[in-house]
Amino acid sequence: MALKPIKFPVYSHTHIFEFFALLQWKVLVYDRKCRDIISPLLNVSKLRKRGVTLHLLLESEREEIPDVPAVYFIEPTEENMARLAEDLQKRLYSAVYLNFASKLDRPLMERLAKNAIASNSYSMVTKVVDQYLDFVTLEPSLFTLNQANSYLSYNNPGASEADMETYARAVTYGVFSMLATVGSVPVIRCAAGGPAEMVARQLNDLISEHLLGNSPFFLRGTGGSTAAFHRPLLIIFDRNDDLVTALHHTSSYQALVDDVLPHRLNRVTVESRQDGESGGATKKRNYDLDVENDQFYSRYAGALFPEAIQANGAELAEVTKKEDEIRSKTITQLGKGERVDDPTQDGSAKELLSAVDSLPKLLERKKSLEVHTNILQAIMSAIAAREVPIFFDVEESMVASSRADKATVKALLADPDKGSLQDKLRLLAVFTLSSKASTADLQELNETVRQAFATSPPSSSSLGAWPSHEEVELGIGAVNYLRRQRAVQHLPDLIESDSNKAGGGARGSLGAGTAIQGAAGIGGVDSGYMSHFINKAQSQATGLLAKATNLLSRRNSLYVSRVVDNLCNFKPNTEDESFLYLDPKVKGLDSSAVKGRAPYREVIVFMIGGGCYAEYQNLQEYSRQQSAMAPRHVLYGCTELLNAEGFLTQLTELGTSFGREGRSFGQRTPLSLNTFGNGSDKSDDTPVLESQNTIPSSSPAPSSPSFKHTVAKTLLNKRNEATKSTNRSAPIKKTHHADNVPRSKNLLIVGLGNPGKEYAMTRHNAGFLAVDLLARRLGADFRLRSAFQGEYGCVAYKGKSVGLLKPTTFMNRSGQSLRKVLDYFKLPVSSVLVVVDEVALDIGQIRLRQTGSAGGHNGLKSIESCLKCKDYNRLRIGVGGAAPGSMVDHVLGQFSRSERKVLDDMLIDAVEAIEDWIEDDNTDKVMNRVNAPR
């Protein structure tokens, strides 16, 4: 079975509102970081649909709303915990549901409990949950940890060991949050040494700790698990592996949006003239870009800019034409006195009626296309003023050939009319990193940049503010930092050399240096066209197209895409032989010990030090090139998403730091693999099945000496009771029963049925009846557990702890209750036995199975949906078939008088079968005994 594509469902970040979905309305309180997590996924209208009528910053002044509950979604920092304690003291809300984006450490938890006790507000805390959502989902295949200055943090020569520890731990837990949300245990690959290995090893240890502890995030599978089948590949990169891509001028629509316009968290700001004239006042407009719901953006976000501009013009013309036709026909029809909504009219009238009904969607599409027209025009204005395509062309030639014409570069750097300071610095940086220029050549080009901005700006310049001498020197310092970086490490080729191109180009493979071409009519354009790019057009529309169609349309495979291809296909003499191989399921494993690996189909690429849209789009293009018979989905993540200007800002600070510290690279603080702890996430407060009665039903009196400890323990237990939505939706790792793996000593028997006296003796409640009889035989008592959404009891039997569960969710939601219990006790699915009615069996018959389909049973459908698997033990109790068309009445009907004569014996057989299953770990033998003819 192939692993499903790894995508981030929107609900992975929005389930924090489901804790009390029955409430009509609520307040959402967040800090700035958590606001960034939510904002790309939920706008105001979506929040209102989830009952959030107010959303407020934690640090803002907030009025008291004592009759309303509040959902807190915050980072567990000391400052936030202090503000939270203040809110509890003021009793701003009726109840609070605390959701922490990352792990809440025990000292902070105990401090919260202490403050809540002091203000006598501890009863307001309803739930405490570590959500492990310390990342931002921007698209189904794109996420970021949103960690500012991430490249600067681990390259700063003044960083201490403690700083490194803090940084590495934040990155590790951020990636862990993503994996916990996805619910997959990856195989980890990375280059040896540096931050990539440090994070990879810490992440490997952290996942291993959770696997050993039966964490709800990663429930252990069986088998030896060295095979790559059904598991994703996580490749961790260091930004220093490929510095050029972060600085290179870009060519795709989405990358240009991020490069030349103000753009953050899918929101872009466009500045336009109100009257359309050059001298008119400007107005800023914000647009939210949604690759999932915006059809045009979904198709063309990764397209080359000329392709996007042409498609926008063509689609807008098509939509406008259809709109005009509908309006013209409507006016003509009404002019004849005919009603377009009259169903008795002829076919033409009905056709027109259908067209009129489609008009709102057509206008909505037109509005969306006009938004993209405004964005495209803003991009065109920026790249035309800076003559970006010329810089792109020169940089692309240098990267593709590893050769550079110094004279061409110098001419561009010297011309004050071409490019901003940022453009020139980017060109100089690419030249520095991709060529083998001498120190003298680089110093000469540095001086050329100084001279270009030494004089006053040209009167015709449209490049904005002229940079000061200090800004120029800071920029040159950033490039000098890159020169030193190049001198102390081997930077890989970004585009594969001509000598490696043989045999490339086959579909499903990025052959060395194979160009990824654009649509027909776009690719293969002679690079000599660049001199025509800035030709002024006669009109705004034709000018936009004329400029766009001249933008270079070549796209080559980048370094990360090539490494992904090499590692997924185990190519010899590549990174597959040099990269470390870490498997959280196996200790001390290296790649040489792995035999018979199958090519990976799910890949997660993570870039430490900042990623960029050009890299992301190149990986998506690589994914689209794969054969339909062997698809490969690539998810891209990074510590932060940076455009070139943002990356240059960090390089500038590094250049300044090295100059200020007077250090060379040889004196730089090393990144040690022992910089921070062992990644353990173990806690001594994890409840076990036998201790299900340890949560106090009421708090002790404040005078009790252990009161503070008890309340702190209660808050911890509330946190453990709460179930993370991503855990409910993530597939539980299956135990292959054929391997006869011994079951846990903690077992769970689940009887299915409907709550309420009216359903007590119905056929659909046969599961309840059997578990009730089992409870009486074993001496167990049920009590309602709201955290489990069911009645629950526990008893020791044959040296094992046996939990008994009757969901009170009604039949078609039984899986929700079961999932809550499994997550709470961290039980594997092999420890569960579901007892259910079966219409395919005659009354009196029972059958034990380890797997199978739901067979139309709504209770089993719910369980399969929540567990994401069909491999769980189930005991089917026969209730007889129904007449055609009367299934509902049959299963919800009472057992007949004749059936009740058989019912008692059948329930006894069922209970004895359950007891046999509890006692004997060999389910195959139990099945032979239970299913034998009676």
CATH number reported for the structural domain that contains residue 805 in this entry = 3.40.50.1470
Which of 73, 103, 131 delimits the end of a domain?
131
What confidence score (pLDDT) does residue 635 get? Answer: 95
Say how far apart CA 708 and CA 721 lie, in whole Å.
20
Q: Is 490 a catalytic residue?
A: no
Structural domain boundaries, residue 785? 746-931
Say how far apart CA 767 and CA 877 lie, in whole Å.
7
Cβ–Cβ under 8 Å, residues 513 and 498: yes
Cβ–Cβ under 8 Å, residues 237 and 209: no
803: nearest Cα among 253, 639, 785: 785
104: nearest Cα among 135, 76, 124, 81: 76
Give the contacts of 684 (CB within 8 A, at least 6 positions apart). none
127 and 274 together in one domain: no
What confidence score (pLDDT) does residue 692 get? Answer: 32
Say how far apart CA 426 and CA 432 lie, in whole Å.
10
Report the sign of the C-alpha dihedral through residues 113, 119, 122, 124, in that order.
negative
Q: In what order do the strands lie in the sheet with 125-130?
A: 52-57, 26-30, 70-74, 96-100, 125-130
Per-residue buried b or exposed e for 322-349, using 16+ beta carbons within 10 Å of the residue's own CB: bbeebeebbeebeeeeeebeeeebeeeb
Residue 740 lies in a domain: no
What confidence score (pLDDT) does residue 33 get? Answer: 94
3-state secondary structure of 52: strand
Which of 635, 657, 679 delimits the end of a domain?
657
643 and 768 together in one domain: no
Ordered alpha helix ranges (H), 336-420: 347-386, 388-401, 406-414
Residue 499 lies in a domain: no
The total number of structural domains in the chain stands at 5
752 and 882 together in one domain: yes
Residue 127 lies in a domain: yes
The residue type of 55 is H
Please state the length of the chain. 934
Count CB neighbours of 78 within 10 A.
10
Over its C-alpha atoms, the chain yields an Rg (Å, rounded) of 32
Say how far apart CA 185 and CA 218 lie, in whole Å.
7
What values do phi and psi take at 24, rounded to 5? -75, -40
Residue 102 lies in a domain: yes
What confidence score (pLDDT) does residue 564 get? Answer: 95
Residue 924 lies in a domain: yes
Residue 682 lies in a domain: no
370 and 288 together in one domain: yes
795 and 921 together in one domain: yes
The residue type of 136 is V
234 and 310 together in one domain: no
863 and 832 together in one domain: yes
701 burial (CB, 10 Å; 0-12 / 13-18 / 19+) is exposed
What values do phi and psi take at 2, rounded to 5? -80, 145
Here the CATH number for the domain that contains residue 43 is: 3.40.50.2060
Residue 670 lies in a domain: no
What confidence score (pLDDT) does residue 690 get? Answer: 38
Cβ–Cβ under 8 Å, residues 67 and 24: no
578: nearest Cα among 202, 236, 204, 192: 192
Say how far apart CA 819 and CA 862 lie, in whole Å.
10
Here the CATH number for the domain that contains residue 194 is: 3.40.50.1910
Q: Please report, for the chain, how many H helices and E strands are present, in that order.
A: 31, 22
369 and 400 together in one domain: no
788 and 880 together in one domain: yes
Q: Report the largest interatomic distance among the alpha carbons of the chain, rounded to a whole angstrom.
A: 105
Say how far apart CA 397 and CA 25 lie, in whole Å.
58
190 and 47 together in one domain: no
CA distances from 909 to 748, 774, 779, 875 (A): 19, 11, 18, 11
Per-10-residue mean pLDDT for the chain, 934 residues long? 37 48 76 93 84 91 91 94 94 93 90 91 90 92 95 87 88 94 91 90 92 70 43 94 93 94 94 60 87 92 91 92 80 57 56 71 91 93 89 87 83 91 95 82 92 77 78 92 71 47 30 28 31 34 42 65 93 90 78 62 95 95 86 94 95 80 42 36 34 30 35 45 39 37 74 91 92 86 89 89 93 92 90 93 92 89 90 92 84 87 84 90 88 78
608: nearest Cα among 154, 913, 158, 186: 154
567: nearest Cα among 112, 234, 148, 134: 234
Cβ–Cβ under 8 Å, residues 781 and 726: no
380 and 400 together in one domain: no
Per-residue buried b or exposed e for 870-906, using 16+ beta carbons within 10 Å of the residue's own CB: ebbbbbbbbbbeeeeeeeeebbeeebeeeeeebbeeb
867 and 779 together in one domain: yes
Which of 131, 160, 178 delimits the end of a domain?
131
What confidence score (pLDDT) does residue 194 get? Answer: 84
Residue 663 lies in a domain: no
CA distances from 713 to 378, 686, 742, 907 (A): 57, 11, 33, 41
Cβ–Cβ under 8 Å, residues 795 and 804: yes
Catalytic residue among 248, 249, 737, 764: 764
Cβ–Cβ under 8 Å, residues 730 and 868: yes
Say how far apart CA 72 and CA 17 lie, in whole Å.
10
Q: What is the DSSP letter of 809?
A: S
Cβ–Cβ under 8 Å, residues 546 and 591: no
User: Which residues share a beta bridge with 507?
Assistant: none
